[in-house]
Structure 1
């Protein structure tokens, strides 16, 4: 099987939003590196064919030839590079990438119709986010059409594959934990030098190889993982037994790497076939509220019904859950994920247009209006949070399956008052004095049943930082049913 190793280089845009602050959604892609590679074929290649410039004694040459291809610094692995500049637009670069990839995969102009259902497995270390989010937004912004395999890509994230490989070996877990688990809440792994150094060391590579030829070393990382995590052995076994059907339930497949990609094509197919009204959101600021998300969608005339996120762990000092969210490709730390529910499938389809757009939050306040702000030297007392949000298709079934882990996003960032309660049916935050929900008119069952024993069973107020969603963290959510979803 052939894979497309793909990396992009990005740079900040020059245009701004009026506050002298460039928006991160306007990042530009300046370079594209790519290589179509059959790892099984290249790992079986005679090393001498990849070492045309070998010099030294016979003993040194013999030692070099006995090394695996991926760890041999003398092995030459050529690749392709596309620069986006005044002479090459992004749309032209994508077309060049498409034509080059199809040519190396063996497709010609005569069988161009086969491209419609073409699926290319993409491999990336640094650019999984750019491929899933930035490329899609730039295509929408610049009004050009991407090929289907790039619009809804199937991606193997090398950080995730490396993590799975380490988890299978007890001797590597300690190295992985020290280098990864305590770094920025498991975010920014791909850009952390400690993490990268440990990865290269465990795979038999060196930092010098990475610094001399970054993309060439990424190809070597892919080959090393493919060789060591069982993917090479599995592919050989499949070739030797063409009549055998290998399923995900088989042990050799379960314990093998490069079998569980991020498959946006499958997600989108399920989304359209089920006429889903649910979208998945990633890289959200941990302090975002319902009203801010609503305004963000409303800015593009999209009308969602509600938003849900993973509830924080009991006694957690954070406003979000870190134990149920683990995406190695997410570019920011201190982030959460969530779901958006829409009134119809058509409205949810419109919501996919928000993929790659910036959500900007301004925290704090400007100086007093009594003084001339532009003439004063007083700095504005606010913090600007700019996050590019990933919006991808999901399904009503997925949302229903994880409903016991979900809570609505908070209505506001203000401190919850003692006694305020969140409706179990729609998630709306209500004052203590209300016996029925202001939004859906459902009764507060817990309040009514304990009305006579309130003083006897009164508990101390919860920490508002640990429980930003209201003073009902001890409520049983095992039978919670997400509203707005059809039965």
Structure 2
């Protein structure tokens, strides 16, 4: 555990209508920190630094939210001055003495997103511990504490007042003091440690994420706080505005109740392009400030069946419109070839029909075996029958492997499973193969085999060795 916890809070300019202050133009007006000795829970130091904003006003809404006016900050120092004061204190009193520290905050996005974005906008180089902070999120740690305290289960981490009630914190006059008292009370109530083994033990370490990103030469970025109705077209336009050109986008399926935002991944052609697009962290997409963080192919693999493409656009498809199985592009009915990759519409229709036939036959086969597989329990027969139907041919297949979809391709160099929209292998960087049989089409072997079978009039067999070897 760290020697010190730095409870940190920031206030920024803001506007409820984005008329005067947009979501990605907010400026720091207050930086407050409190230093806690973890061993004694004593407050070692408290300090608040006011900052004069340069480009945005303090609106009436901001005054109401932050309890600060223009008169309070008009003679204050700059953003760079505030960062320098924090760094000077930490260097002189903690870092130079060989002590370790972690930040504690009530809202991680302030430290992970807003502060780095403003620093880039103003040409200020943040200290390494602010560029990639190691921090504890108070609501997350409180949720871990609730696991051992069912008596407080009705006081969820969804609101500050709930946490204050459960942890018996009376409201001081200043918000930074509230967060400090919450941290102290949570630490006290997490004793003995053996009864609360997860509380304040594992911080978010974004420096480690960056090290792994660079070491792997990863081409994958993680996107969060996206609008729930985000489309691929919007993401492509958003990245293009800022000089980024990912080759693939994936979002995460969720069975939970609808949330206000979604997350996903952007995959680039090279590591350098992905690294450059990390600078988009904190940029706005509509009314949402997007968090962009380094990720890896390992994370993408673990997501497995949870991955799904973003919808191509908000326009509802009309009867006859078709989706290309090779690249995922949505085409109008009149197109005889895919507008993006030239895949023939006739082959696309054949692929979809064959997939539906395969699904129907598997479902019928599963229903017929339900009594043997489940001991007569027909309520769960579908999943069991499907897994049993592959067990004889695929003993090495793991339950969390990503299934091949139409258009996916396997790298000839390293045998890595790539998605249809990947223009190069995510593992070794090799280009997506272009087959000489039909040089105008950039498709995978499965789609090419299906198209060839369709053209020759032969039946499509999805149980042959060519298809089965894809399930690795």
What do residues 241-273 of structure 1 show as CA deviations (whole Å, max 9, x unaligned)?
A: xxxxxxxxxxx5983211232221111111000
Question: Offset at 1:150?
Answer: 0.4
- Of 156, 164, 181 in structure 2, the residue corresponding to residue 200 of structure 1 is 164
Task: Give the aligned partner of residue 39 of structure 2.
Answer: 40
Q: Distance in 1 between matches of 2:136 and 2:144?
A: 12
Q: Determine if the alignment matches structure 1 residue 171 to structure 2 residue 158.
A: no
Larger RCO, structures 1/2 (Cα 8 Å, 6+ apart): 1
- Of 268, 273, 283 in structure 2, the residue corresponding to residue 347 of structure 1 is 273
8 Å CA contact 1:39–1:223 kept in 2: the answer is no
8 Å CA contact 1:357–1:389 kept in 2: the answer is yes
Question: Offset at 1:136?
Answer: 0.4
SS at match of 2:40: helix
Question: Offset at 1:447?
Answer: 1.8
Question: Offset at 1:221?
Answer: 0.7
Question: Offset at 1:400?
Answer: 1.5
Q: Distance in 2 between matches of 1:106 and 1:274?
A: 29
Task: Give the aligned partner of residue 216 of structure 1.
Answer: 177
- Of 119, 129, 148 in structure 2, the residue corresponding to residue 149 of structure 1 is 129
SS at match of 1:280: strand
Q: Distance in 2 between matches of 1:156 and 1:344?
A: 32
SS at match of 2:200: coil
Question: What 5-or-longer segments of structure 1 have no aligned partner?
Answer: 44-75, 109-113, 181-188, 190-194, 235-251, 314-320, 324-332, 361-385, 458-474
SS at match of 1:107: helix
Q: Distance in 2 between matches of 1:36 and 1:401?
A: 38
Task: Give the aligned partner of residue 97 of structure 1.
Answer: 86
Q: Distance in 2 between matches of 1:33 and 1:272?
A: 32
Question: Offset at 1:77?
Answer: 7.5
Task: Give the aligned partner of residue 338 of structure 1.
Answer: 264
Q: Distance in 2 between matches of 1:130 and 1:300?
A: 22
SS at match of 1:42: coil
Task: Give the aligned partner of residue 26 of structure 1.
Answer: 25
8 Å CA contact 1:119–1:154 kept in 2: the answer is no
- Measured at CA, do residues 161 and 453 of structure 1 come closer, stay the same or move farther in structure 2, by a change above 3 Å? closer
- Measured at CA, do residues 449 and 95 of structure 1 come closer, stay the same or move farther in structure 2, by a change above 3 Å? closer
What do residues 267-303 of structure 1 show as CA deviations (whole Å, max 9, x unaligned)?
A: 1111000000000111111112111111111112211
- Measured at CA, do residues 357 and 422 of structure 1 come closer, stay the same or move farther in structure 2, by a change above 3 Å? same
Q: Determine if the alignment matches structure 1 residue 289 to structure 2 residue 212.
A: no
8 Å CA contact 1:277–1:344 kept in 2: the answer is yes
What do residues 189-217 of structure 1 show as CA deviations (whole Å, max 9, x unaligned)?
A: 4xxxxx222211211222xx33x232222
Question: Offset at 1:311?
Answer: 2.0
Alignment of structure 1 residues 64-79 onto 2, 5 Å: 79=46
Q: Distance in 2 between matches of 1:414 and 1:272?
A: 38
Q: Distance in 1 between matches of 2:300 and 2:290?
A: 19
The count of corresponding residues between Structure 1 and Structure 2 is: 345
RMSD of aligned alpha carbons: 3.5
Alignment of structure 1 residues 122-137 onto 2, 5 Å: 122-125=103-106, 127-137=107-117
Alignment of structure 1 residues 387-426 onto 2, 5 Å: 387-417=288-318, 426=327
Q: Distance in 1 between matches of 2:353 and 2:195?
A: 51
Task: Give the aligned partner of residue 47 of structure 2.
Answer: 80
Question: What 5-or-longer segments of structure 2 have no aligned partner?
Answer: 53-74, 364-385, 388-400, 405-416, 428-472
What do residues 405-443 of structure 1 show as CA deviations (whole Å, max 9, x unaligned)?
A: 011111111223467665666543456799997656485
8 Å CA contact 1:5–1:37 kept in 2: the answer is yes
Alignment of structure 1 residues 353-364 onto 2, 5 Å: 353-360=279-286
Q: Distance in 2 between matches of 1:449 and 1:218?
A: 55
8 Å CA contact 2:155–2:163 kept in 1: the answer is no
Alignment of structure 1 residues 83-482 onto 2, 5 Å: 83-85=50-52, 86-105=75-94, 107=96, 120-125=101-106, 127-176=107-156, 189=158, 195-206=159-170, 209-210=171-172, 212-230=173-191, 233-234=192-193, 252=194, 255-313=197-255, 322=257, 334-360=260-286, 386-417=287-318, 426-429=327-330, 439=340, 441=343, 445-450=351-356, 479-480=403-404, 482=418
TM-score (norm 1): 0.63
Q: Distance in 2 between matches of 1:196 and 1:168?
A: 20
Q: Distance in 1 between matches of 2:219 and 2:132?
A: 19
8 Å CA contact 1:120–1:149 kept in 2: the answer is no
